Amino acid sequence: MSLQNRINLDAPKWPQDNFVGRFKHFWSITDWRNGLNSEETFNNAKILLNSYRLGNEPPGTTTEQIWHAKKLYESCYHPDSGEKMNLIGRMSFQVPGGMLITGCMMQFYRTVPQVVFWQWVNQSFNALVNFTNRNAKSEISNTQIGIAYASATSGAMVVALGLNSLVKTAPPLLARYVPFAAVAAANCINIPLMRQREIINGIAVYDENGAEVGFSKNAAYKGIMQVCVSRITMAAPGMLLIPLIMQKLETYPWMQKIKPLHAPLQVLLCGISLTFMVPAACAMFPQRSSLEVGYLDPHLQQLLSQRGINTVYFNKGL
């Protein structure tokens, strides 16, 4: 591979200054098929990329092989720490994991035990995803993880059970939207709490050359807010449209004859929605987010202005 055609491994394959480019990037790394690869395959991808960086990749290595290895690496390893992420916490597991949990939450919402169980499962899953995809420069203790997990789970259950009690006499369709309200509320609790160290201590910010220039709480606020919006958007189409579809389908006699298949059908519909919405929601905001110096914490504003730095960059997390 000639020097002129060398791939910049630190840059995405597609431009990240527009939604389409970001969508293509996240479509690649959130592809649920990435999770079907063996651990050996991921390890080999990392080895190949490390060799490529040093310019001593195996003879005959093609550009396509390097791009494929980069796709596998980015779907499996954390962008900050370079550590391998647990399978369930990876964004490539959002479709299979999310479709099962979301479909079941929307099917089993009528009784208290059903609500409690599926909200607990959902928040356990969310807590693991939020922890796995946090800004790894900010560490969090086991105690803080436990408090965040318990708070988000309790919050989701309170919202779900409270709304369930309020809509008992409302039209059936309204009751179907209770799981979405609980999910939205829980995301606004779970994500900030799971990433509370970022809010307390700030996250690392960098200049345009990638050099660390300090830690900013304001950058953490922006990143966490964007992730909350993305996560709610990710769930919204499926959890808002599928109840309408199911309500219509359930008016047909043939649907009444296959009630045991209602849950699998909702799971399938959720899977179709998440296949497109996971990369779309992740692409709403740039992964390498930016903030003008004037919006940074006061102690950084003067310091960076004196150095002629007008904008800083940071990993917002996913």
SS (H, E, C) 247-266: HHHCCCHHHHCCHHHHHHHH
- Rounded to an integer, the average pLDDT of 305-317 is 85
pLDDT band of 181, cuts 50, 70, 90:
confident
CB atoms within 10 A of CB 8: 7
Residues 274, 301, single domain; the answer is yes
- Rounded to an integer, the average pLDDT of 291-300 is 87
The residue among 155, 187, 219 that closes a domain is 187
Distance CA 57, CA 192 (A): 42
* Residue pLDDT, tens place only, 88-97: 888 889 889 9
- 210 vs 51, more confident: 51
Distance CA 220, CA 217 (A): 5
Q: Does residue 6 sit within a domain? A: no
Distance CA 57, CA 52 (A): 5
How far apart are the two ends of the chain, measured CA to CA in Å?
33
pLDDT of residue 304: 84
Q: Does residue 269 sit within a domain? A: yes
Residues 68, 96, single domain; the answer is no
Residues 123, 65, single domain; the answer is no
Report the mean per-residue pLDDT for the chain: 84
pLDDT of residue 161: 77
Query: 296 vs 193, 207, 217, 293, 311, CA distance in Å?
Result: 22, 13, 8, 5, 9
pLDDT of residue 145: 75
Q: Does residue 13 sit within a domain? A: no
Residue 179 has pLDDT above 70, yes or no: yes
DSSP single-letter state for residue 36: G
pLDDT of residue 170: 67
Task: Average the pLDDT over each of 8-17, 121-130, 144-153, 297-306 and give the range with the smallest value.
Answer: 144-153
Task: Average the pLDDT over each of 189-193, 245-249, 300-304 and give the range with the smallest value.
Answer: 189-193
Distance CA 127, CA 124 (A): 5
Residues 308, 249, single domain; the answer is yes
pLDDT of residue 18: 92
The residue among 153, 187, 221 that closes a domain is 187
Q: Does residue 48 sit within a domain? A: yes
Give the structural domain span for 114.
91-187
- Rounded to an integer, the average pLDDT of 146-167 is 75
Distance CA 220, CA 262 (A): 41
Q: Does residue 44 sit within a domain? A: yes
Residue 215 host element (H or E): strand 212-216
Q: Does residue 236 sit within a domain? A: yes
DSSP single-letter state for residue 314: E
- Total of domains in the chain: 3
Distance CA 135, CA 151 (A): 21
Residues 228, 276, single domain; the answer is yes
Place of tokens 């004859």: 257
How many secondary structure helices (H) and strands (E) does the chain include?
13, 4
Distance CA 234, CA 183 (A): 11
Residues 55, 119, single domain; the answer is no
Residues 237, 302, single domain; the answer is yes
Residue 125 has pLDDT above 70, yes or no: yes
Q: Does residue 197 sit within a domain? A: no
Task: Average the pLDDT over each of 12-26, 159-173, 198-212, 262-276 and give the range with the smallest value.
Answer: 159-173
Residues 219, 306, single domain; the answer is yes
pLDDT band of 295, cuts 50, 70, 90:
confident
Selection from 218, 159, 219 nearest residue 189 by Cα: 159
pLDDT of residue 138: 61
The residue among 187, 210, 243 that closes a domain is 187
Residues 130, 207, single domain; the answer is no
pLDDT band of 71, cuts 50, 70, 90:
very high
Residues 143, 49, single domain; the answer is no
Q: Does residue 132 sit within a domain? A: yes
pLDDT of residue 4: 53
Residues 131, 100, single domain; the answer is yes
Residues 58, 114, single domain; the answer is no
